[in-house]
Amino acid sequence: MARFYRIGAIVLAAGLSTRMGQPKQIMQWGTVTIVRRVVEVLAASGVEPIVVVTGNVRKQVEEAVAGAATMTVFNPDFADGSMMRSLQVGLRVLPLDCEAVLVALGDQPQIESEVVRAVMEGWRRGAKEVLAPSFGGRRGHPILFARSLWPTMLAASTGLSPRDLLKTFSDKIAYLEVDTDSVLRDVDTPEDYARESLTTGQ
């Protein structure tokens, strides 16, 4: 009988949204907010548990995901803009039986269940300790990290960028080529939001 590996997710939703000019996590995406859309896709893909790391507009983000299959945790240092710190805050609350975690962006409403499932299944079939989707040779999200790497991630400097973190794991990364550029698309600016909303008819 095949072993079941429990895979959780951390949704990074603590940012200041400086380039957007307003909190993008709680902007509308169809009938829900952007962060709620991300959570709902992860849940529909069989990810559990889902941890949403909050910071800026904490209360509004908590309200946006209320009732969804998720828990929230607050990053008290969100104002420094460190994604590494948010990642560490999320890792610390994941249960002991989680053997891997997907790191998802709270501003990527184009996330697709098919991609999430493919990344999880790719890792379960024996991929390396880090598995990232890619499109056209470019790395996207969500990225999966095996539990064996979490101590290194928790001990990393909070000033480390996600790109720098991945460089430290360069010999442990596998890439899963997907047929959709949704893994590359997020909404950082008003122009991004207008374009992505138009593309999907939101």
How large is the average pLDDT for residues 7-23? 95
Residue 46 predicted with pLDDT over 80: yes
Q: Is residue 185 part of a domain?
A: yes
pLDDT confidence band for 1 (50 / 70 / 90): very low
Measured in degrees and rounded to the nearest 5, phi and psi for residue 10 equal -115, 125
Q: How many domains does the chain have?
A: 1
At residue 13, what are phi and psi to the nearest 5 degrees? Answer: -135, 35
Residue 150: inside a domain, yes or no?
Answer: yes
Residue 58 within a domain? yes
Distance set, CA 14 to CA 20, 57, 148 (Å) = 14, 8, 25
The answer to whether residue 1 sits within a structural domain is no
Any domain includes 124: yes
Which domain does 68 fall in, by range?
6-200
**89 domain residue, yes or no:** yes
- Average pLDDT taken over every residue of the chain: 93
pTM confidence score: 0.94
Does 130 reside within a domain?
Answer: yes
Residue 15 in any domain: the answer is: yes
- CATH number of the domain within which 131 lies: 3.90.550.10
Predicted pLDDT at 2? 46
Q: Annotate 142-191 with DSSP letters as a single string.
A: -EEEEGGGHHHHHHS-TT--HHHHHHHTGGGEEEEE-S-GGGG----SHH
Average pLDDT, integer, range 4-22:
92
